Structure 1
Amino acid sequence: MQAINGTTDLYLIPGDPIANVRVPRMFNAVFARFGIDAVMVPTRVAARDLAVFLKASFLAKNLKGMVIAPPHKPLIVSLLDGCGLFGRVAGSVNIVRRLDNGELEGDLFDGEGLVHALDYYNIPFRGKRVLVLGAGVSAAAIGVALAEGGTVDGAEHIAFYDPVAGKAIGLATQLDSFFDATVVSVDSSDPASYDLIVNASQAGLQPGDPLACDVSRMEPHAALFDILLRGQPTPLVQAVRARGLNAQAGFEMLIQQMPNYLDYFGYGEAANGVRHDMRFLREQIYPEAMRAEIAAPLRYHSASVA
């Protein structure tokens, strides 16, 4: 472990709860690997205290930035001096940095992490039909990233389903007004007719949760990505794999954001190093039961991808 001293830059990750956050171990592994005099520390902060915490924390001159954990991502936007496009459209951010003039700006990389994870596993989404289960903060980020490339580099058709009345239609309407892709809400989680299903809901977090969709209705060519981190492989992932279809867990979505985080914080050399070799990060994140997928991620990606 690197020594912490008076020259060490500090990064925080506020959330509530924070017991299971994985981002600090990835950042600290990167800092150690590339000889960066910095450390990331998780901090448990209640939502009611977030505004005061954010402003007071950045009074420390060696605090360079934050990665934002749930449930605080949508609460941060109004506290910033500036925000990137993805953060503005989705209405949430997962990273904050301090500029040289002292202003705070943030952005959102959840969606880009998903897109890179899909590429890693060779799961097609460009020009495809995608069903997103859930319409919360993560679903919004995913929708922005899938739609941002237009119908050539992004999905052609994106549908949101959420059991909470009005939630999916509100998100779909917002995104449809920004992008060329067709973005709609649907009143069913039926996966039939879709090329890709993304579970961005909470279904699967608790034992006994019903599956987020009826996997028997998935098309023979379809794939599924479950963004949940706890309990992987979830019953949903296992059920899809039992059909012989491509189903992947959310760890890679988290890992694939690291180069974006590092670039945003000004560590370009480390970002390029991570793009070249992410295996050491997977060893930090993947649970023991899934370690075999680090060395051999099955048939779902090519050897040319990191």
Structure 2
Amino acid sequence: MSHSISGSTQAYLIPGDPVRNVRLPRMFNAAFERYGIDAVLLPMQVPVRDFAVFFKSAFLARNVRGMVIAPPHKPLVVDLLEGCGLFGRVAGSVNVVRRTEGDQLEGDLFDGEGLIGALDHYNIPFRGKRVLILGAGVSAAAIGVALAEGGTVNGAAHIAMYDKAAGKAAGVAAKLDAFFDANVVAADSNAPEGFDLVINATQLGLSDDDAAPVDVTRMDSHAALFDILLRNQPTPLVRAARARGLNAQAGFEMLIQQMPHYFRYFGHMDAADAMAADAGFLREIIYPPAMHAEIAQPLRYRSPSVA
């Protein structure tokens, strides 16, 4: 970030714990500079026990216009808002908050919409398909909402959620099934047979020593895999799926596809439209150098081979 900060600069905050590895400040500040917006996004290290006090206190500063919420605080925000969008209400979590012109605080959740954008970017079909979501936490719930609702088109034909914690997937699946009248169920196992798309929404893969969240050798030869993790990419799971010739993608694009939604939510419409049309500069920032070839050739895993 090279532009100067003055008394008229709008402040956006990203509270989390930890915040050492958050990527959004670099992305936001690069976009602010690129599009001539006098604003800055700053990371804030905030323990869970202090979050509610911090959240309310931060907005006492009139130049704090909004927040992007990092883990583990996303589920803590909903009860602190005057208004909440559909995805946030259903998932019980938000990742963005804005101050309205009426001085109200409202939030929403764009994890799922980021996932939908990433799937479309990589030409991974999900509409009318069978999808297995691994995990039933905040991100998995947001993804389930987006897939069940499907944006403005028909969502997935069948969504199964699996989590090793007993009852966790069943609770999320039941809520989604009831709210959207969609075909969402809790899976008895992580067996991938019969699914067109497998989404890893667990933390497994952050270390090379982690157990694989799914056995990719059992995935159908036409199936695709999306791993939402940002660190340690390409994860062993992604590498194993690609070794089979499957369309397997890392989570970076999910974050990139959220950026236009964030900026539109904060009222920066022209910047949002520009990023939706061309987000190449964001990919250069967020993708590790070893994966930069994938920026230029995002479609090279589109044609699966027979296992």
- Normalising by structure 2, report the TM-score: 0.96
- 1:66 maps to a residue whose letter is M
Residues 1:126 and 2:124 are matched in the alignment: no
Residue of structure 2 in register with 1:7 after alignment:
8
Does the 8 A contact of 1:150 with 1:179 survive in 2? no
Which residue is 1:37 aligned to? 38
200-209 or 212-221: bigger deviation: 200-209
Counterpart residue identity of residue 92, structure 1: S
Unaligned stretches of 5+ residues in structure 2: 303-307
Please give the per-residue CA displacement for 1:198-250, whole angstroms capped at 9, x wherever unaligned: 00011111231111111111001000000000000000000000000000000
The 8 Å contact of residues 151 and 181 in structure 1, kept in 2 or not, is answered as no
Change (3 A) 1:188 1:26: same
Indicate whether 1:270 and 2:279 are aligned. Answer: no
The answer for the alignment partner of 2:160 in structure 1 is 159
- In the alignment, does 2:173 pair up with 1:172? yes
Distance 1:190 1:92 in 2: 28
In 1, Cα distance between the equivalents of 2:288 and 2:24? 14
Give the corresponding residue for 2:19.
Answer: 18
Tell me the distance in 2 between the aligned counterparts of 1:285 and 1:292: 13
Q: List structure 1 runs of 4+ shifted beyond 4 angstroms.
A: none
Is residue 233–residue 249 contact of structure 1 (8 Å, CA) maintained in 2? yes
Structure 1 unaligned regions, length at least 5: 302-306
Q: Is the 8 A contact 2:12 2:67 kept in 1?
A: yes
Report the alpha carbon displacement of residue 295 of structure 1 after superposing the two structures with TM.
1.6
What secondary structure does 2:3 align onto? coil
**Does the aligned pair in 1 maintain the 2:208–2:236 contact within 8 Å?**
no
SS at match of 1:174: helix
Mapping of 1:41-60 within 5 angstroms?
41-60=42-61
Structure 2 residue aligned with 1:304? none
Matches within 5 A, 1:204-215: 204-215=205-216
The CA deviation at 1:60 is 0.4
- Quote how far apart the aligned CAs of 1:64 are: 0.3
- Between the aligned partners of 1:300 and 1:42, the Cα distance in structure 2 is 35
2:246 touches 2:301 (CA, 8 Å); kept in 1?
Answer: no
Q: Is contact 1:127–1:152 with CA below 8 Å preserved after alignment?
A: no
Q: Which amino acid aligns with 1:115?
A: I
**Deviation by residue 1:148-179 (Cα, 9 ceiling, x = unmatched):** 03895210100000000110001001100011
Contact 2:208 2:235 in 1 (8 A): no
Task: Show the counterpart of 2:305.
Answer: none
TM-score when scaled to structure 1? 0.96
Amino acid at match of 2:98: R
Residues in 2 aligned to 1:84 and 1:152: alpha-carbon distance in whole angstroms = 19
What is the alpha-carbon distance in structure 1 between the residues aligned to residue 19 and residue 174 of structure 2? Answer: 33
In the TM superposition, what are the counterparts of 1:1-306 in structure 2 within 5 Å? 1-149=2-150, 153-300=154-301
CA RMSD of aligned residues (A): 1.2
CA contact (8 A) 2:96 2:262 kept: yes
Distance in 1 (alpha carbons) for counterparts of 2:40 and 2:152: 41
Measured after TM superposition, the shift of residue 296 of structure 1 is 1.8
Alpha-carbon separation, structure 1, partners of 2:154 and 2:255 = 21
Higher alpha-carbon deviation: 152-161 or 83-92: 152-161
Q: Tell me the number of residue pairs that the alignment of Structure 1 and Structure 2 aligns.
A: 301
Percent of paired sites with the same residue: 69
CA contact (8 A) 2:242 2:301 kept: no
Aligned letter for 1:80? L
Distance 1:95 1:124 in 2: 27
Q: Matched residues in 1 for 2:89 and 2:199: separation?
A: 22
Give, in angstroms, the shift of residue 77 of structure 1: 0.4
CA deviations 1:36-70 (Å, max 9, x no partner) are: 00000000000111110011000000000000000
Give 1:130 deviation, angstroms: 0.2
**Residue 180 (structure 1) shift:** 3.0
- Give SS of 1:192's match: coil
Letter in 2 for 1:55: K
**Distance in 1 (alpha carbons) for counterparts of 2:86 and 2:199:** 22
- Structure 2 contact 16–71 (Cα < 8 Å) conserved: yes
Structure 1 residues 169 and 294: CA distance shift in structure 2, 3 A: same
Aligned-partner Cα distance in 2 for 1:60–1:191: 49
1:150 and 1:156 in contact (8 A); partners too: no
Amino acid at match of 1:182: N
Give me the whole-angstrom Cα distance separating, in 1, the residues matched to 2:139 and 2:16.
15
